Structure 1
Amino acid sequence: MSSATAPVREVTAKPLPSTLTVGLSRVGLEVKQFFREKEQLLFTFFFPIIFLAIFSAVFGDSDFGDGVNAATYFTPGMIASGIFLTSFQSLAITIAMERDEDLLKRLRGTPMSPQSYFIGKIGLVLVTSVAQFGLLLAIAGLLLGVDIPTAPEKWLHFLWIFVLGTASGSVLGIAFSVVPKSGKAASAVVTPVVLLLQFISGVYFVYSSLPAWMRGVAEIFPLKWLAQGMRSVFLPEGYEVNEPGGSWQLGLGALVLSAWLVVGLVVGQRVFRWTRRDAG
């Protein structure tokens, strides 16, 4: 008695998800993890908003010239500071902690490409920066009386300044994440650097009132140009005469931010580590 031979079914392997698809899925995971960390959320996300409210209360009766009050003057600096916190500081600390916990080592052993991991991190920066900016702007406009710009060219300036600021801050944060020797030391190493840059870059003080040597140091780093660019968006026309250079220097600011973006990319590729230093 002969038996019929069962037909052989061809099994077609499903193609692996693309680098972009995996990276976008990482964005959702990174955002969920970020909002679950209450301490990081409070310091990184609400720190500029809290400081803007404090400065507005302390300097509420001060006149910064051309009818600009404290809330209006400090809003651009707090926006720039928020971008730097969610990009440079957040990435430098979290990546150092993930490396120390061997999370990066485990991820490196999966089919996920390094590019997908970094897409997830940069996507996190974009989402949190936009959300923080929206909340800060709502509070500044509705509660603190800040006039929100309506001219389209102002928002075009804001767009490229925002993109260059988040991009340069992100790659510099990734590169700087190798500096802390351990995840526990990351906050102690990164936070003082950010605070120092905030003090000399016109975030917490009127920039023109700072000593000339301090302004000279600040001009080397991106936060000063990010804050100055934001002032060009949110302060009234003609206010640039109060700047030390007598203008917003947007072209020079774009060059400096672009230069730091390139430096961060080059240095990050050379020094980035997926494992702890003691792992060899």
Structure 2
Amino acid sequence: MTTTTLRTPSARPGNPSFGLARTIRLGANRIGYETKVYFRQTDTLFFTFLFPVIMLSIFSVAFQGMGNIGTNPDGTGGISQAAFYLPGMIAAGILLSGVQNLGVDIAMERSDGTLKRLGGTPLPVLSYFFGKMGQVFVTSLLQIGLLLLVARFAFDVALPTDLAKWMTFAWVYLLGIATSAVLGIAISRLPRTGRSATAVIIPPVLILQFISGVYLQFALLPDWLQSVASLFPLKWMAQGMRAVFLPESFATVESGGAWNLAGVAIALLVWLVAGLVVCRVTFRWIRKDS
């Protein structure tokens, strides 16, 4: 008599069910979950998703009586206040979606034990990161789409028609959002508790918006403050977006009298690599003091 033994599949390294395919599949599921949770949080929606749209509307309405920016001596030409503030608000939205959103969110998950519980499940760390970063990409793209719609139809801002401009927008956005997401994960280690996360992370992000050409014209800032802002990625994201949405004549007021897109790419790549290194060294499923 022969005996048949039933065997379950083993978790071999080459088995796609337990390898990269599984990691990607779980990551895709996490993207959907994280995005749903994001849109259910009213405070997150206001301070990250809608905040740049609200600020663009406020600045456009409040300063419209000052006339166009960059007008000729005879008063002709120039661009509207809404057109001038649009690139800065897009850059700020990228920073908020990555640094502020992920920094606060992961710090709270670490504090309330969510990360510790996830560490006890079969969920790979990479799948967790895919979910977080995928949510940032999805929500930031929706946010930028909303910003462009409001600028175009509420404030009659003329959007670029040159394909090269949109290609520049694409790589500045991709580098910017990847850098912001990685830095958000890295900075989540700073708050000691979930309750202190907003107090630790939001003020520096807000200060960067004021000194990086988002709310104030960058050329009007003192040279030393411009130098400080140049050490951080938001200044370069805003400069890259200005190169996309502002006329070429505005490049003369930038540092060095040009858009310096090569400098934008180098600065964002440096911050991206630095953020990846910090994440690799410091990220843990549980709190440091657990």
TM bracket, shorter-chain basis: over 0.9
1:228 to 236, 239, 247: 239
- Where 2:34 maps in the other structure, the secondary structure is helix
The one-letter amino acid paired with 1:52 is: L
Corresponding position of 2:62: 58
Runs in 1 of length 4+ with deviation above 6 angstroms? none
**Deviations 1:113-154 (Å, cap 9, x if unpaired)?**
100000000001100000000001000000011111110000
Following superposition, the deviation at residue 42 of structure 1 comes to 1.2
Corresponding position of 1:212: 223
Following superposition, the deviation at residue 18 of structure 1 comes to 1.2
* Alignment map for 1:108-187 (pairs within 5 Å): 108-187=119-198
Following superposition, the deviation at residue 236 of structure 1 comes to 1.3
Corresponding position of 2:74: none
Instruction: Report if aligned partners of 1:61, 1:69 keep a CA contact under 8 Å in 2.
Output: no
Q: Is structure 2 residue 207 aligned with structure 1 residue 196?
A: yes
- Where 1:179 maps in the other structure, the secondary structure is coil
The one-letter amino acid paired with 1:50 is: I
The one-letter amino acid paired with 1:111 is: P
Following superposition, the deviation at residue 237 of structure 1 comes to 2.4
* Alignment map for 1:92-107 (pairs within 5 Å): 92-107=103-118
Instruction: Report if aligned partners of 1:45, 1:82 keep a CA contact under 8 Å in 2.
Output: yes
Comparing 14-23 with 181-190, greater Cα deviation is found at 14-23
Following superposition, the deviation at residue 61 of structure 1 comes to 2.8
Comparing 62-71 with 221-230, greater Cα deviation is found at 62-71
- Where 2:256 maps in the other structure, the secondary structure is coil
Q: Is structure 2 residue 50 aligned with structure 1 residue 46?
A: yes
* Alignment map for 1:241-260 (pairs within 5 Å): 241-260=252-271
**Deviations 1:59-100 (Å, cap 9, x if unpaired)?**
113321051111000000000000000011100000000000
- Where 1:260 maps in the other structure, the secondary structure is helix
Following superposition, the deviation at residue 275 of structure 1 comes to 1.1
Q: Is structure 2 residue 88 aligned with structure 1 residue 68?
A: no
Give 5+ residue unaligned stretches, structure 2.
Answer: 11-16, 72-77
Following superposition, the deviation at residue 9 of structure 1 comes to 7.2
Give me the whole-angstrom Cα distance separating, in 2, the residues matched to 1:37 and 1:6.
61
Following superposition, the deviation at residue 277 of structure 1 comes to 2.6
Following superposition, the deviation at residue 252 of structure 1 comes to 0.6
Corresponding position of 2:37: 33
Residue identity over aligned pairs, in percent, reads 48
Q: How many residues align?
A: 275
Give me the whole-angstrom Cα distance separating, in 2, the residues matched to 1:48 and 1:219.
21
- Where 1:180 maps in the other structure, the secondary structure is coil
Corresponding position of 1:78: 89
Give 5+ residue unaligned stretches, structure 1.
Answer: none
Give me the whole-angstrom Cα distance separating, in 1, the residues matched to 2:185 and 2:121.
20
Give me the whole-angstrom Cα distance separating, in 1, the residues matched to 2:188 and 2:173.
22
Following superposition, the deviation at residue 43 of structure 1 comes to 1.1
Give me the whole-angstrom Cα distance separating, in 1, the residues matched to 2:240 and 2:216.
16
Instruction: Report if aligned partners of 1:178, 1:273 keep a CA contact under 8 Å in 2.
Output: no
Q: Is structure 2 residue 272 aligned with structure 1 residue 261?
A: yes
The one-letter amino acid paired with 1:25 is: N
**Deviations 1:155-185 (Å, cap 9, x if unpaired)?**
0000000000001111111111000000000
The one-letter amino acid paired with 1:168 is: T
Per the normalisation by structure 1, the TM-score is: 0.95
Following superposition, the deviation at residue 12 of structure 1 comes to 4.5
